Amino acid sequence: MTAAIEAHGLGRRFRRGGWALRDCSFRLPAGRICALIGPNGAGKSTLLALAAGVLKPTEGTLTTPPREAIAYVSQDKPLHPQLTVAETLRMGADLNPGRWDAAVAGKVVEGGGLDPARRVRALSGGQRSRLALALALGKRPTLLLLDEALSDVDPLARRELMGALLATATEDGTTVLMSSHILSELEDACDHLLLIDGGRVRLGGSVDDLLQAHTLVSGPISDLAPHTVVTARATGRRLTALIRPEGPVSTDGGGWQVEEPTLEELVLAHLGAPGVPALLTTAMEAAA
């Protein structure tokens, strides 16, 4: 399976701020829709900017498709304020000769009822996000990088735009790497997950594989060895824990419940447990 993004020992240091990303190695297979998750300051925007070629790595390597095949919607969505909506789309066509899909871009803009004659500076934040996404999808990219691209879009419009995004991505086999703090939205849209914290990869792989690699157990307080305990919480005499099983989970003694966690439970458990060893499933392991 060819990789759309492959990172080896990737790191980026800022002169004022230190290492934003350190020792990241992973591969994202082509055609996957991958959620990029992590707390504020984790390094998500830095990774996306590196993948977009806007930033250069301080160390390590990052392989991506050629620049003209990448669309990147950054958090600040740089658009020209003096241009109208129609002029912005025309600029998209001029900048992407041979690639531009006016119908796809036009549909995204029309979906929000944006007046083509309206200047960008007169658009609301959510309307600007829609226009930025129209520019990105109109490019019909091989790799689409979205940095909290829909964070200021209202819930109904977000659902519609996510639908348009997924339809185009599925049709073209586009690889998507998208950061967001809205886990439920990512759960519906993404088949892969990359979780970073403190500039380092903590979890990476297909959502199914990552969920299967973890178990939520609840039962009488006891020693959970030899399993890796991601988080554990005692309530009275019962223990609820998210574990990474090392072999079969024993339910001796009765009163045990064992179930697969939800994506939200998995992510929240890992964000609260920085000391747990990182896990990359084979789907995202970088080639040696």
Ligand X SMILES: Nc1ncnc2c1ncn2[C@@H]1O[C@H](COP(=O)(O)OP(=O)(O)OP(=O)(O)O)[C@@H](O)[C@H]1O
Judged by the rule CB under 6 A, the positions of this chain that interact with ligand X are 14, 16-17, 20, 38, 40-46
Helix, strand, coil share (%) of the chain residues, nearest 5: 30, 30, 35
Whole-number minimum distance, CB 21 to ligand X, in Å? 7
Closer to ligand X at the Cβ: 20 or 109? 20
Residues 6+ apart with CB under 8 A from 96: 68, 138, 139
What length is written for the chain? Answer: 288
Q: Which is nearer to ligand X, 36 or 242 (CB)?
A: 36
* Alpha-carbon torsion, ordered 52, 55, 58, 64, to 10 deg: 10
Q: And the tokens for 97?
A: 């000769």
Q: CB of residue 22 vs ligand X: minimum separation in angstroms?
A: 11
Residue type, 141: P
Smallest distance, ligand X to C-beta of residue 228, A:
25
Cα–Cα dist 284/199, whole Å: 17
In the complex, minimum distance from the CB of residue 192 to ligand X, in angstroms, rounded to a whole number:
18
With CB atoms as reference, the residue minimizing the distance to ligand X is 17
**Which CB atom, from 22 or from 32, has the smaller least distance to ligand X?**
22
Cα angle 114, 115, 121 (rounded to 5 degrees) comes to: 85
* Cβ closest to ligand X, residue 43 vs residue 219: 43
CA atoms within 13 A on the CB side of 91: 16
Those residues whose C-beta lies under 8 Å from the C-beta of residue 222, and which sit 6 or more positions away, are 239, 253
Sheet containing strand 279-280, edge to edge, reads 70-73, 143-147, 175-179, 33-37, 192-197, 200-206, 279-280
Nearer to ligand X, 67 or 181 (CB): 181
Least distance to ligand X, CB of residue 206, Å: 22
Nearer Cβ to ligand X, position 4 or 20?
20
User: Least distance in Å: CB of 49 to ligand X?
Assistant: 8
Comparing CB distances to ligand X, the nearer of 43 and 205 is: 43
Least distance (Å) between residue 88 CB and ligand X = 25
DSSP string across 266-278 = HHHHHHT-TTSPP
Note whether 58 and 11 are within 8 A (CB).
Answer: yes
* Unique residue bearing structure tokens 């806007």: 54
Nearest approach in angstroms of CB 60 to ligand X is 16
Q: Which is nearer to ligand X, 17 or 248 (CB)?
A: 17
Residue with tokens 């500076």: 121
Q: Give which of 282, 287, 264 is closest to 195, Cα–Cα.
A: 264
